Each structure stands twice: as C-alpha cells, then as structure tokens.
C-alpha cells in the first residue's frame, strides 16, 4: 500500500514528482485506495460549521484535502468528511467525465454541421455533477432532469449510440427520433423535460411513488438556477416536506439562466436555502469527489429524514444552447478562467495523480482511448438511417381507441403501436410492468385468453404431478374457477395476484 | 323539483324507446353515487390507484364525490393536497410515470388552467415523445362547465380545449351509467384521461340496470349512446346538454317530430360512426353543447361531417346550438339565457327542418 500524507494548501497541489522522490516511492506503486478529506466552510449558513480537516495518519495512506466543499443549512451533520477513493472508482469517474465531455463536444460539432436540429443544450463544464451523483445512486433510485440531459441519459444506461442517434433523428435513437435532445428516457430515468421547472413536481411525484411502494428508492430531481424561481418548485417543496417524500432536489447552479446572471434573476441566490423548511447543502459542483460525498449524504437523508435541497455550484463553458454563443452576457476571460481554475476534469486528473492512483501515461492513454471510442460510436450513429415515416403516427396512445389518426387531409392514418418492441427487445418501464386491463369489447377477448391460460396451467400442473415434480410456479396461480358462464365471477377475479403487486415488492432489475 | 320530474319523465321516455335494455331498471343511482362507487371499486381492485386533490379526504370531497373513501382506504390512498394545482397535478403525473395510477381531482376544471402545462406537456405528449417507453395512466377529473350562479371564472367548459390535444382522451359523461362505467374505464386506461363531470347532475338520480352495479362494469371509451331513437333529425350533445336535448326531443315529439338524441360520452375520440349512421337515417343534424361556439365540439362535428361522404346525406346544413359567446354572467336570468335552453333547441330544430317540419307534423298526425 502506497503511503503518503499530503497537506495541501488551498488551491494548490504538490507536484507528484516532489514527494515521490522524498519518500523514495517508485512510480509503479499505486495505492488501491486513498482517503480524501473534505473541508466545510461555515460561512453564511444558519448553523456555523467549521470542521477541521482530518489527517489520516495511521497507515500513512495518501490523503488529500479539498477546501470549501460544503455549506450546510439547517443540518446537524454535513456529509462525511472522510471519504475513501478506490482506484477503480477514480478511473471510472474520470472516464465517464471524459466520455461526457467528448460526446457533448461532438454534439456541438454535429449541430454546427446541421446534422442536429432544434434545441441542443450541452453539459460541458458540469460533468462532475452527473458523474459524481450517479456514483452514489443505487439501481432503485430514479432521476429526472431538465433539458441539459445528455450526460444524465448516458449515465442512466442509454448507450451513446442511442443518444447520438436520437439527436440526429435516426431510427436507432433512444426515442426513435420522436423526442429529440430534450426527451430521452430510460429505466428509472424520466427525461429530459422541455418546460423549465416542470420536472420538479414530476420528480416529487416519482418520490411519492417510491414512498407509496416502500421500495427504498429516492428520486433525484435536478433543475437549474433559472428554474429555481418557478412557483411549482416551491409547491413541490411544500408537498415533499408535508408528506416526507424521499426526494433530493438538486439545483445545478451554473450561474446563468440562459443569458441572465443569477444576481439579475434571483433576489436570493443561495438556492440551497430556498427550501426554507427543508435542510440544504451547498456543494462545490466542480469537485466530483465532493459531489459524490454529498450525494451519499443526501440519499441517506432522503431515506430517513425526508426531502433535502442540494445546490451544486458549477459552470458551463458553452452557451445556454447551441443558438447562444455564450459570450454576449459574459466575458471570454471569465469562461477561460473557469476552464483553467475549476475545470472538473483537469482538477480531478491532478487529484488522481496527486493521490498516486494513476500516472500521467496511463491517464493519457485512457484519454486517447476514450476519445477514439466516443468518436467512432458517434460516427457510426451518424450513418444510421433516419426514422421511417410511419413513425409519425405511431404510439400516440398506449391503447388507441380512436379509429384512424387524422392526416393533413382526411382520416387515413392507422395508429401504429410499436411500444412493445424496441430494437428487437421488449421495452420495460415501471408503468408497463403490470398488464393493463382491457376495456370494453376487449374484455371478452382477454377473458377468453385467460381461460385458455388457465387450462394450460391446469394441464401443466397435471403433467407435473404425473412426473412427481409438484406444482409449477406461475402468474396463473389462482384456482381455476371452472368454465361456468358466470361472467361476473370470472371477471372479478381477474388474476389479482399477477396484476396487483404487493407494496413491498422489490424494485425490478435495471433494463440492461 | 320540476326539473327532476322532467328528467325522470325524459328518462322513462328513454326507457320506453331504448332498445338496449332488456330488464326493467331495478334501481335509481345518483351520479354522485355512481362516481363514488366507481372510485371505491377501482381503489379496491388495484393497489396502484389512489386519489389526490383538494378536500378529497377528510372533507369527503368538495362535492362529496369521494365521500367515505378516506375512512375506508386511509391517508395513503386518498390524499388531501394544498391549494397548489400546478404542483399536485405535476406530482400526480410524476407518480403515473413511475407506475402508479392516480386519480387527480380538480375542484372544478377552471382551476386546471393552472396545471394545464402538466396535463398537456407532461402527460399527453410523453408517450409519443418517449416512443412508447413511458406511459402516463392518469385520470384528471372534476366538475366542468356552468354551475349555478358562480359567474365567469368558475363556469367555463373545457371540452374543446382538451379535446384539441392528441395524446389525451376526453370523456364527458351525462348520467349515472355513463359516470360509473366511464370512470372505471378511464381509471383502467393506460393513457391520460380528462374526465369532465357536471356539478348540476351530481344529485340527479337516474334509473340504472343491475349490471351497472357490477364491479367490472365498464363503458367503452369512444362510443356514443343513442339515448332516444328518432327519424326526423339528430341531436348530438354531451354532458348537461344531453338533458336539454332529451327535454327538447320530448317537446318536439308533441309537434310530431321524432328527434334522435345522441349522448356523445367521449369527446376525444369522437364517435363519428354513430353520428354518421344517425345522419344517414335522419338527414338533419343539430349539435348541442353548453360550451362556447368558436372552435367547439359542435364545430368539430360540423367539420368532420363535411369531410365525410355522409355530407351528401344531409338535407340541410348542420346547425350548432352552443353557449352564448360571452363570459358567464352572474344574474339568474342572464345566466339562464347564456346557455342553450329547451326552447332554443326546439327553434333550431324547426329551422333546420324548415318546410319539412310542417310536413313531419302532418305525417305524424
């Protein structure tokens, strides 16, 4: 185990070479795990927090102190000050941030080449927020965000090919070209929402569903500094607190709501305090380790104490969207300074090296490899064919009871349903886990199907008994009621066991 | 009192003419009880169903539609919300996206304007935008349209507004059978449904078949009902206007004109098949609604019939009877004149039938 204690002054890092030679360490020795210490500054918070940084000395592990990472509001204890960082985690996070950065850059390039149309909101500079948070979210947690969603979509399990495909409007897009940049979904990821602030009550509703089902999940609800003044955000705070919803409100404060600086838009720009009766935590959103630590804290808090508001202080290098150059309301120097001083990727890179988790060559190789990979995936996506015309009138309703869809002139478009099949695999989302109940005339068809299934189950049981295996498991576990023509009975007992999950049902495994 | 009697008379006239009911109606059921029992059944049947809205729980419902449900099912299934429509409608939509089946009550549909972004942008469009990945099995319900003396801000009809949007299903029941069957169908439906009730009929008792009380009685969405068959002219209406149409039909019957009254039940999808079949029989059509005329339900029916071969079956242009194109006034007389009355319908029918009216009268004598 590599050993080094490093005291870092505010804003500076030891040059790795210096202390390595001091301690006589070879560059080949890399620790598998290091400890990172966060320091919280107590200024301007309700409870003055002034935690001294802890020095890890026992095993002389390499240690790093980050300054000004947290500010607490109405919280007895902040996030853990001592965190461990394993090499695998560090490299995973670093890779993810690189991938996101490269992907967004390519998306920007494609937009300029007019391959991507409409809205395109890029995440350059904010990578640490998504990557750091996802590290501490579990598979049962849900996420909903606004339109700057490509990074989140990727981290929530959608491949880059599908995301780029969606941006390009090709058939391999994750929403088959029907949604575009702002409407991408995945298992437990509810987009991608175009209306500023609308995702906040939606997210509180998702948290309500978690609480309703008691599935131990939390809902992470992201919004920006521009959306933070929306009335519906405060309505959501109120109901989340009233009903103790497991909801983590996260304000990604990149200091600009489109072209308006926070000081011109918000009478009070301490967004972590805006929850008023909800505890809040300000986090340096450019430090992926701080974000990660805060998320762990927030998840625990949401599960045990109710909602919490996080404010991730971050910065975006690009404009609000591709139609905004991003320089008319701020100086290039400001952007440049942000890139140099607080870029999440380069600072994490230095931290990795400083902590001896990887060395320069390895990281360089990783960067090259990642760049090549992302480039090739996106290039491949750009060669896919555009979504077909019949998708125009596909999947407007989950259950279409209308006849045809009206065309430009006349009612002659068939409503097509593709929703069960997507890329050859059935697409599963929480909403369609349990079969929907047929309505009207379809009831008879469904009953006939059920009786048939019953008969087959009976037959299978008899076969199994014959073989001495015992009763087969299955959804048709209800005792066969017989073929009596009593419609009322058979319809009333429409396999309740299959249709209605008990509240304590375990969350489904993620799609991929 | 007189009104109730008139309705009962109209309904018994319906019973006498109706070809769909075999047995005599065994019992009476108010629309309120119909809705209440529908909610009760669906809450019992499916764990995922829950109700939220203002005063739905401990107050037993602002109009007592959810009476007794909180006592029976508790805080988890029947949730009182603060007076924040945008917030709780959004929460309901989010819960639906995550797999639950909320029934979101607006105290009246007028307040839905505060939450309309969530109904349209978050609920209606999501299935399409996600290419079928995320459906939103939510029901928005509440009283719609004019009540009595509540003036302009509390009397608007939203049928046309919501029926405009693809992705939504819009239902407007009239009587108890409609209310019960359609609410159950709406709750079981995997898409967002806008359920427009009417406050004035909540207390009205309608005769219902025994089968209506069945736990799985559903009325299919998108199918209109012929309340009263006829041969001279078709009257198409939804919600409260069905009552006006039935009363007008009774009046016209005295003049020897047999009007066929169609209860639309669903505004979106619109059951044009039933309307067209009726027009092929009667060759005359008058649409009746309490909402404003411009871009309304009647306007849509007119447009559709013109785009169909059935246009050539018409012997006269289609006529719309709608609410007067003004915000609803408060004073009683003004209010009464702001909505189509029985006399207005009779006059419209006579006008549409023109000279034939006289001939029909003579033929029936």
What is the per-residue pLDDT across B285-324, written as a single tens digit (0 to 9) for each?
Answer: 999 999 999 999 999 999 999 999 999 999 999 999 999 9
Q: What pLDDT does A450 receive?
A: 82
Residue that finishes a domain, picked among B165, B193, B213:
B213
Q: What pLDDT does A48 receive?
A: 35
B343 and B241 assigned to the same domain: yes
Q: What pLDDT does A427 receive?
A: 52
First to last CA, chain A: 36
The verdict on B344 touching A (C-beta cutoff 8 Å) is no
Q: How many CB pairs under 8 A join A and B?
A: 224
Q: Which of B98, B135, B171, B275 to mutate to test the interface with A (most CBs of A within 10 A)?
A: B98
Residue that finishes a domain, picked among B213, B240, B266:
B213
Q: Which of A177, A205, A429, A488 to mutate to test the interface with B (most CBs of B within 10 A)?
A: A205
For residue A437, pLDDT over 70 is answered with no
Contact yes or no for B127 and A488 at CB 8 A: no
The ipTM, to two decimals, is 0.90
Q: What pLDDT does B365 receive?
A: 55
For residue B112, pLDDT over 90 is answered with yes
Asked if the structure places residue B218 within a domain, the reply is no
In the block, tokens 């919004």 appear at A223
B306 and B209 assigned to the same domain: no
In which domain, by residue range, is B84 found? 2-15+24-213
Q: What percent of chain B has pLDDT over 70?
A: 91
Q: Specify the DSSP class assigned to residue A509.
A: P
Whole-number mean pLDDT of chain B? 92
B146 and B190 assigned to the same domain: yes
Q: What pLDDT does B153 receive?
A: 96
B281 and B177 assigned to the same domain: no
Whole-number mean pLDDT of chain A? 80
- Residue A252 DSSP SS3: strand
Residue extent(s) of CATH 3.40.50.970 domains in chain A: 70-381
Classify each residue of A12-31 as buried b or exposed e, where b means 16 or more C-beta atoms within 10 Å of its C-beta: eebebeebbeeeebeeeebb
> Which residue(s) pair with B194 in the sheet?
B140, B170
Q: Which of A9, A5, A14, A13 is nearest to A57 (CA)?
A: A5
Asked if the structure places residue B220 within a domain, the reply is no
B186 and B100 assigned to the same domain: yes
Q: What pLDDT does B197 receive?
A: 98
pLDDT digits (tens, 9 = 90+) for A154-211: 999 999 999 999 999 998 999 999 999 999 999 899 988 999 999 999 999 999 999 9
**If you average pLDDT over residues A436-442, what whole number do you get?**
47
Q: What pLDDT does B104 receive?
A: 98
For residue B268, pLDDT over 60 is answered with yes
Q: What pLDDT does B320 receive?
A: 97
| Chain A 161-220, residues with CB within 8 Å of chain B CB atoms | 174-179, 183, 185-186, 190-191, 193-195, 198, 200-210, 212-213
Cα A461 from Cα A202, distance rounded (Å) = 45
Asked if the structure places residue B255 within a domain, the reply is yes
pLDDT band at A40 (very low <50, low <70, confident <90, very high): low
Contact yes or no for B131 and A175 at CB 8 A: yes
B41 and B190 assigned to the same domain: yes
pLDDT digits (tens, 9 = 90+) for B11-40: 554 444 444 444 444 699 999 999 999 999
Asked if the structure places residue B219 within a domain, the reply is no
Which of B277 and A488 is assigned the larger pLDDT?
Answer: B277
Q: What pLDDT does A66 receive?
A: 81
> Which residue(s) pair with A64 in the sheet?
A36
CATH code for the domain in which residue B65 is found: 3.40.50.970
**If you average pLDDT over residues A263-279, what whole number do you get?**
96
CATH code for the domain in which residue B234 is found: 3.40.50.920
Structural domains in chain B (count): 2
Cα B193 from Cα B49, distance rounded (Å) = 14
B237 and B355 assigned to the same domain: yes
Asked if the structure places residue B338 within a domain, the reply is yes
Q: Which of B269, B133, B128 is nearest to A395 (CA)?
A: B128
Total H helices, total E strands in chain A:
15, 14
For residue A330, pLDDT over 70 is answered with yes
- Give, in degrees to the nearest 5, the angle at Cα A259 between A257 and A260: 60
B76 and B116 assigned to the same domain: yes
For residue A79, pLDDT over 50 is answered with yes
Choose which CATH entry (3.30.1600.10, 3.90.870.10, 3.40.50.970, 1.10.3720.10) describes domain A70-381: 3.40.50.970
Q: What pLDDT does A479 receive?
A: 41
B134 and B191 assigned to the same domain: yes
Q: What percent of chain A has pLDDT over 70?
A: 74
Range in A41-55, A107-121, A176-190 with the lowest mean pLDDT: A41-55
């Amino acid at each position: 185990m590599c050993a080094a204690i490093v005291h870092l002054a505010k804003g500076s890092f030891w040059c790795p070479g210096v202390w390595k030679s001091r301690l006589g360490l070879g560059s080949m020795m890399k620790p598998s795990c290091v400890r990172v210490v966060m320091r919280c500054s107590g200024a301007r918070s309700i409870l003055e927090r002034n935690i001294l940084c802890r020095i890890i000395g026992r095993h002389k592990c390499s240690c790093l102190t980050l300054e000004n990472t947290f500010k607490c509001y109405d919280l007895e204890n902040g996030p853990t000050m001592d965190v461990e960082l394993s090499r695998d985690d560090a490299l995973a996070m670093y890779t993810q941030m690189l991938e996101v950065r490269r992907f967004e850059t390519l998306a920007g390039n494609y937009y300029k080449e007019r391959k991507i149309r409409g809205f395109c909101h890029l995440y350059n500079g904010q990578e640490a927020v998504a990557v750091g948070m996802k590290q501490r979210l579990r598979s049962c947690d849900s996420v909903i965000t606004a339109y700057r969603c490509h990074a989140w979509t990727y981290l929530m399990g959608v491949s880059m090919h599908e995301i780029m495909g969606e941006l390009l409007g090709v058939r391999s897009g994750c929403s088959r070209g029907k949604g575009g940049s702002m409407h991408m979904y995945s298992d437990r990821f509810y987009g991608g929402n175009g209306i500023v602030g609308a995702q906040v009550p939606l997210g509180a509703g998702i948290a309500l569903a978690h609480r309703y089902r008691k599935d131990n999940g939390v809902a992470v609800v992201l919004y920006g500094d521009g959306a933070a003044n929306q009335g519906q955000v405060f309505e959501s705070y109120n109901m989340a607190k009233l009903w103790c919803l497991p909801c983590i409100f996260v304000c990604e404060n990149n200091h600009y709501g489109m072209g308006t600086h926070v000081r011109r838009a918000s009478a009070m720009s301490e967004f972590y305090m805006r929850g008023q009766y909800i505890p809040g935590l300000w986090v340096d959103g450019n430090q992926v380790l701080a974000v990660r630590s805060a998320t762990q804290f927030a998840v625990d808090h949401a599960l045990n104490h109710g909602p919490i508001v996080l404010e991730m202080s971050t910065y975006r290098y690009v404009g609000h969207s591709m139609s905004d150059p991003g320089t008319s309301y701020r100086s290039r120097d400001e952007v440049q300074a942000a890139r140099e001083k607080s870029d999440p990727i380069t600072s994490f890179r230095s931290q990795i090296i400083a902590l001896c988790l990887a060395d320069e060559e390895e990281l360089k190789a990783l960067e090259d490899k990642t760049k090549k990979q992302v480039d090739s995936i996106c290039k491949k996506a750009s060669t896919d064919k555009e979504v077909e015309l019949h998708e125009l009138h596909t999947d407007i309703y989950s259950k279409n009871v209308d006849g045809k869809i009206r065309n430009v002139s006349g009612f002659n478009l068939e409503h097509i349903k593709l929703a069960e099949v997507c890329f050859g695999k059935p697409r599963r989302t929480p909403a369609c886990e349990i079969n929907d109940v047929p309505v009207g005339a379809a009831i008879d068809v469904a009953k006939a199907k059920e009786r048939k299934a019953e008969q087959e189950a009976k037959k299978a049981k008899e076969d199994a008994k014959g073989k001495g295996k015992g009763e087969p498991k299955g959804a048709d576990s209800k005792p066969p009621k017989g073929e009596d023509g009593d419609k009322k009975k058979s319809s009333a007992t429409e396999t309740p066991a299959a249709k209605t999950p008990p509240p304590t049902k375990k969350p489904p495994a993620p799609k991929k | 009192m007189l009104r109730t009697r008139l309705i009962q008379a109209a309904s018994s006239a319906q019973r006498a003419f109706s070809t769909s009911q075999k047995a005599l109606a065994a019992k009476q059921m108010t629309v309120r009880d119909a809705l209440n029992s529908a909610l009760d059944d669906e809450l019992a049947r499916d764990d995922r169903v829950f109700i939220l809205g203002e005063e739905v729980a401990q107050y037993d419902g602002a109009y007592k539609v959810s009476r007794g449900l909180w006592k029976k099912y508790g805080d988890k299934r029947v949730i009182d919300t603060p007076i924040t429509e945008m917030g709780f409608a959004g929460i309901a939509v989010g819960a639906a996206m995550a797999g639950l089946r909320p029934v979101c009550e607006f105290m009246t549909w007028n307040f839905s304007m505060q939450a309309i972004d969530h109904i349209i942008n978050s609920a209606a469009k999501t299935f399409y935008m996600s290419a079928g990945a995320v459906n939103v099995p939510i029901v928005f319900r509440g009283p719609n349209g004019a009540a009595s003396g509540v003036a302009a801000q509390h009397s608007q009809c939203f049928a046309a507004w919501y029926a405009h949007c693809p992705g939504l299903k819009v239902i407007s029941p009239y009587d108890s059978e409609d209310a019960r069957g359609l609410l159950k169908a709406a709750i079981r439906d995997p898409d967002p449904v806008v359920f427009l009730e009417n406050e004035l009929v909540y207390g009205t008792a309608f005769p219902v078949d025994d089968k209506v009380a069945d736990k799985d009685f559903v009325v299919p969405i998108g199918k209109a009902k012929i309340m009263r068959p006829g041969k001279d002219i078709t009257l198409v209406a939804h919600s409260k206007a069905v009552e006006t149409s039935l009363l007008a039909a009774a009046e016209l019957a005295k003049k020897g004109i047999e009007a066929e009254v169609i209860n639309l039940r669903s505004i979106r999808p619109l059951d044009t098949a039933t309307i067209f079949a009726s027009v092929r029989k009667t060759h005359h059509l008058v649409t009746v609604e309490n909402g404003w005329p411009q871009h309304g339900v009647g306007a849509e029916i007119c447009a559709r019939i013109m785009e169909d071969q059935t246009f050539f079956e018409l012997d006269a242009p289609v006529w719309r009877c709608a609410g007067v194109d003004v915000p609803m006034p408060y004073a009683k007389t003004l209010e009464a004149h702001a909505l189509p009355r029985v006399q207005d319908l009779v006059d419209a029918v006579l006008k549409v039938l023109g000279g034939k009216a006289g001939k029909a009268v003579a033929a029936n004598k």
